[in-house]
Structure 1
Amino acid sequence: MARILALDYGKVRTGIAVTDELQLIASGLTTVETKELIPFLADYIEKESVERFVVGLPKQMDNTPSESEALIQPFLKKLTGRFPEIPVERQDERFTSKMAFQSMLDSGVKKKKRRDKSLVDEISATLILQAYLNRI
């Protein structure tokens, strides 16, 4: 089986998580600068088999798209244009940043490390991917 790769897309940074080859476990992979995301993905896909992308779907509490969805739509066009053979699915990402921060607190991550926004993005991508795995 191939891996599933999840993206917590952001204007500056994007958190990335990936499954194991059996698609059982979601693990944080890294965080990259968004401007470097497509080249990073191209390099990763050369080395690993990726079955699908899961991209976070930011929503308001009333289920309407959040403002950041306007940034994600052009990226989705670029992603599907560059990797047309890999399907893209969306996963609700409400509360993932808060849950990521809380998981860092619960895990005893030191205050200085908790300020590292890239770690929050990577954990958020992992939560998005785990929610997707739980749903399918």
Structure 2
Amino acid sequence: MSIFSRIKDLMGNKVDTFDGTEDLEKMVEQNLQDLNRELGKVKAELASVLADEQRLKRELIECQEGIEKMERYSVKSLDEGNEGDARTFQERKSVLAEKLSDLQAAIQFASSKSEQLKPIHDQLIANIKELESIKRSGF
């Protein structure tokens, strides 16, 4: 999680520490560049996590539908007296149920990660705006 520690370091740099230095403009510009670079990384990571989360949700729905389908097939096979097929469908249902559990865990992880990234994203934007405001004010 080096990106988190780097962002924490950048966000920890307060403009107040620059007062009185001759290179204030350079320091502000460098911090702006660093923050914008980190913002780009966070945006890319957040977009990737959100895309993964959506993909996983679609897979989850497909898996749930598969489980329901296998249950219907199993019941139908039993009604027709075909216990071998019913067992096969129950086994497939069992495999899908395990996959469902894995998908739920993966969705929870992706959701948690996106919830961690959103405040960082927002804080970076706020810090960039603050530095840009200082830069526009002419120091």
TM above 0.5, one fold?
no
TM-score (norm 2): 0.27
TM-score (norm 1): 0.28
Structure (1 or 2) with the greater strand fraction:
1
- Bigger radius of gyration: 2
Structure (1 or 2) with the greater helix fraction:
2
